[in-house]
Structure formats: C-alpha cells, structure tokens
Structure 1
Amino acid sequence: MPNTQIVPASVNTTAVDMLSSAHGKGEVAHWFLTANPDDRDQQKAIEWIEKSIQDLLKAKDAIVTGQARELRRAVEVTEQITAVEL
C-alpha cells in the first residue's frame, strides 16, 4: 500500500471525488494491479480501494470539522473584540 501524507483539503476533496466515481475506481484498480504485478488478486484490489475511499472520507470529515472549529473560534474572538470596542 502506498505511503500516506497530509495534503491540502482541495487535494483530499479531489481524491475523494475521483475515488468515489465508478471511473475513478476503475482507474485506481488499474493502477493498483499495474503497480503490483505480482499481486493480481482483484478482490484485494477492490478491498484496498474501498478502504482508501473510507480513509479519504474520514480525512475529509476531519478537515471539515477542523475548519468549522476554526471558524467558530474566529467568530468568538471577533465577538469578544467587538464587545470590548463597544
């Protein structure tokens, strides 16, 4: 399995969209089978793709949750600054 790394949210979203589409699954399956010529077990490729999609969806959810948390904090700070100025 390839190494994973942190990438910008836009890249994660694009990867999730690609892997979620039927065409994307076919492309990833083709890559997986080509990149691993000794392991042509299609079921293993499908399981790897499904796990990758689940991992990407979890990462996307974590990014969205983190962004929402940061936005809430920014609103709280802005409200505090506004209250002090008034």
Structure 2
Amino acid sequence: MLMLASDRVQMRRDRRRANCHVRQIAMYVCHVALGISLSDIGQAFGRDRTTVSHACGVVEDRRDDPAFDDFVSALERISTSVFIQSGAIAHE
C-alpha cells in the first residue's frame, strides 16, 4: 500500500510539473513570438508578470537542447502564422 501511495503522489507531482512546463512554454511563445507584454500574459494566465518573466527565462535556458529548441520554434511559427492570418497581430 505504501508503494501504491508513493507512486500516486509521484504521478500527481509529475503531472503538475508537466502542466507547469506547458504553461511556461505558452507564456514564452505569447511574449516572444506574439509580442504580448508580460503584464498582459500574467493577467491572462492568472499569474504575476514576474512569474511570466521567470517562465520566459526557464524556456530560454532550455532552448540549448536542440530537440526542445526545434519544438519551441515550431510553436512560434504556428502561433505567429495563426495570429497573422486572423489579423490579431501585424505582419512583420
């Protein structure tokens, strides 16, 4: 029973960590690719602008990994494309 309980706690923590990473990447893409201010992103995600700044730093540090960098680059391209086509951001 202790093993099952510890596994359950581990899974819950891993899920929370994964959700945190996804949110950090989303905040990063909003700021870097879409040019949204840290304050506006924080408000949209229910976080403080300093949390958004931290998230951007974490993602930037992780971009040293080529696979992660490719993944984030793809998200940036897709996000930019979608928002340009919708007219939400100006084409550069």
TM over 0.5: same fold? no
Smaller-chain TM-score bracket: 0.3 to 0.5
- Which structure has the larger Rg over C-alpha atoms? 1
TM-score by length of 2: 0.38
TM-score by length of 1: 0.40
